């Protein structure tokens, strides 16, 4: 194997459950090798191995990573607003967001997927869908034709988005939910697990149920 053919080292920001999923996807792909994890939340975990990948420390490690020639980072946690915020942080410091697409997902050839996005096992993304940057399309979720999932959104395991749905920036669609065709879920909205969404949901709303109804509003996310 020549140096040109060697997988690119990538660091995962996050060291909990979703990071395990990202590690597995990267190992199954051609082109990336997970070499470390960053964890600002529990600094005492420095040196711990997570599925064989060491926790390097927190964000104070970024200059050393660049000096070591590591240029790729991917987010390995679920908080939507924080993924967007930290994506901007690492981009400003000279890193590139890696994209992880599980080889046993199904992605139509006309789909556009932004940098930093994770597409997990069993996910299906159908023709002319557009997926933004730093998105999670989680295990077994489906995104149907011409739907748009904006930057930082999280489509949780088992979610079903019908055709021409729009999921706004940093919105969260809870596990097992179903969204009717042409429905828009607003920016920063949160859809509770198992909901059936048949009407538009406003920005920053918390909605759940069958059919989903707005229960309360939450503060706009930090920029």
- Catalytically active residues, by annotation: 145
CA distances from 194 to 69, 70, 121, 154, 216 (A): 44, 40, 20, 15, 18
Indicate the pairing of strand 196-197 with strand 190-191: unpaired
Instruction: Please name which of 106, 100, 185 lies closest in space to residue 144, comparing C-alpha atoms.
Output: 106
Helix/strand/coil for 66: helix
- The structure tokens listed for 204 are 């920053």
Q: Return the exposure string of 7-30: e unless at least 16 CB atoms fall within 10 Å of the residue's CB, then b.
A: eebbbbbbbeebbbbbbbbbeebe
- From the CB of residue 219, how many other CB atoms can be counted at a distance below 10 Å? 7
* Selection from 190, 195, 220, 221 nearest residue 208 by Cα: 195
Could you tell me which residues come within 8 angstroms of residue 61 by beta carbon, excluding any fewer than 6 positions away?
Answer: 36, 38
Q: Which two tokens stand for residue 45?
A: 């975990």
Structure tokens at 12: 């995962």
């Amino acid at each position: 194997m020549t140096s040109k053919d060697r997988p690119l080292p990538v660091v995962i920001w996050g060291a909990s459950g979703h990071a395990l999923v990202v590690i597995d996807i990267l190992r199954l792909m051609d082109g990336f090798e997970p070499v470390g994890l960053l964890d600002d939340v529990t600094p005492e975990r420095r040196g711990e191995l997570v599925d064989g990948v060491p926790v390097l420390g927190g964000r104070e490690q970024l200059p050393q990573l660049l000096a070591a020639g590591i240029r790729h980072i991917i987010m390995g946690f679920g908080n939507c607003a924080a993924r967007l915020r930290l994506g901007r942080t690492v981009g400003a410091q000279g890193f590139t967001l890696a994209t992880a697409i599980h080889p046993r997902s199904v992605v139509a050839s006309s789909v556009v997927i932004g940098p930093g996005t994770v597409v997990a096992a069993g996910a299906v993304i159908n023709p002319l869908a557009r997926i933004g940057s730093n998105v999670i399309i989680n295990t077994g979720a489906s995104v149907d034709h011409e739907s748009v999932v904006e930057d930082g959104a999280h489509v949780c395991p088992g979610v079903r988005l019908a055709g021409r749905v729009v999921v706004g920036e940093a919105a969260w669609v809870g596990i097992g939910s179903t969204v009717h065709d042409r429905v828009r879920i607003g920016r920063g909205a949160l859809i509770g697990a198992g909901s059936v969404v048949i009407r538009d949901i406003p920005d920053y709303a918390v909605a759940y149920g069958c059919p989903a109804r707005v229960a309360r509003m939450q503060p706009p996310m930090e920029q």
